Amino acid sequence: MQRIIEIASSSFKIAMQELWKNKLRTFLSLFGVTIGIFCIIGVLATVNSLELNIQSEIKALGTNTIYIDKWDYGAGGGPDYPWWKYVKRPSPKYEELQQIKERTTTAENAAFIINTQSSVDVDQNSLNGVILYGITEEFPSMQPMEIQYGRFMTDAEFGLGANAAVIGNEIAEKLFGDAQRAVGKQVTAKGKKINIVGVIKKQGNTLIGGWQFDKSLVTNYRFSRNLMDEKRADPLIIVKGRSNMTSKAVKDELKSVMRSLHKLGPTQENDFALNDVNDFSDALSKAFVSVNIGGWAIGILSFVVGIFGVANIMFVTVKERTTQIGLKKAIGAKNSVILTEFLLEAAFLCIIGGLIGLILVLILTKIATAVLHFPIFLSPQIIAIAIFICIVAGVLSGIIPAIKAAKMDPVHAIRS
């Protein structure tokens, strides 16, 4: 082990001397490695960050959760399935909610939601495009909304259909200047007065849309029927499965319950859709596999150029140090020692080029995160991949020059 450490230390010192002695030649040789690592790791970091952020947003829609709707959020009934069949499907009804609770054993909870867009007025100030949500009391346990100021609606307000609501942070700031000032104030939507009892904590922009609570006003279902036509308000039932149940088991049971509620015969097709959040996550993972392959392809093309550059510098190094190699072999250095020294030197050169590429990627991620307000990060796994690639590239680019050096005849090497 001590001998290996000595060889590695010597190889590193020689590699650094080569860098210092032939700066331009070494820089041009390592530039390909640097660009290759920059491309590979840059693409991997961006794609990985994008996937993690989207997966996090999908999970925020609910784990082990099924969305009952007339629209299929995925591939639908297939490419030949007529869109008008979706339009003709019946929308979920509030009355079905209680039936689902009573008939399902795999469900932990269920909620009913309707929504529409409207303008919201405060004194002379009016804001368009606000999302109005009408929710049942079970919704917060499935889709938690953290309240920053004030409080959430009480069970009594849900039961009585009181004109109480919580408001999104962005809407509160636009209407009142300061989000905290919205608590206790009254707004008007669809001609109805609404008392603001709380402000939802700011969530920020999302890539997949989601609930967009920052731009919403959330009230209870019973009061919301005064604000919108339920049939035209995209009614939706959300069912969350028990922790010991898979989403597939919940989905299978819901399929049976919904077919019974809709009185469908054995030969009739479903007139409803059961959208599983887990299916979105799986589909996204498969899509990102292709994106990652594309990123690897771009990076490898650049990296091949770098490998040839390092191989070139190693051939030149062997030629320049032929006399030294002969002297080492003359005093007893084994072929394996010479081979190891040059392989380690090539690996160190590639690692140095790779580290420069990593530093450039790190700088770029910091700039992109600050400018785009989208978190891009380098995970330890990606850094480990970069170092591994550099070591492999060093071995591949240095193997032929190292073998050539190890097989030299000491007498001929010294005479040269």
Using the predicted structure, report yes or no on whether residue 1 has a pLDDT greater than 70: no
Tokens of residue 209, six digits: 């849309």
Helix (H, G, I), strand (E, B) or coil at 218: strand
Domain boundary among 271, 303, 319: 271
- 309/316 Cα distance (integer angstroms): 11
Are 209 and 185 part of one and the same domain? yes
Using the predicted structure, report yes or no on whether residue 404 has a pLDDT greater than 90: no
Full-model pTM: 0.69
34 closest CA partner among 352, 249, 324, 353: 353
- Which structural domain range is residue 361 located in? 2-58+282-415
Are 40 and 117 part of one and the same domain? no
Are 36 and 155 part of one and the same domain? no
Number of domains in the chain: 2
Are 114 and 207 part of one and the same domain? yes
Are 243 and 107 part of one and the same domain? yes
pLDDT tens column, 57-112: 776 666 788 899 988 876 554 455 577 778 888 889 999 999 999 899 888 889 99
Determine if residue 85 is left, alpha or beta; phi over 0 gives left, psi from -120 to 50 gives alpha, anything else beta: alpha
Are 140 and 254 part of one and the same domain? yes
Neighbours of 28 (CB within 10 A): 13
- 65/85 Cα distance (integer angstroms): 25
Are 257 and 391 part of one and the same domain? no
Mean pLDDT, range 231-255, rounded to an integer: 88
Are 339 and 410 part of one and the same domain? yes
Are 244 and 350 part of one and the same domain? no
Highest mean pLDDT among 91-95, 315-319, 372-376: 91-95
Neighbours of 210 (CB within 10 A): 13
Amino acid at 213: F
Domain boundary among 230, 247, 271: 271
Residue of 230 and 208 predicted with greater confidence? 230
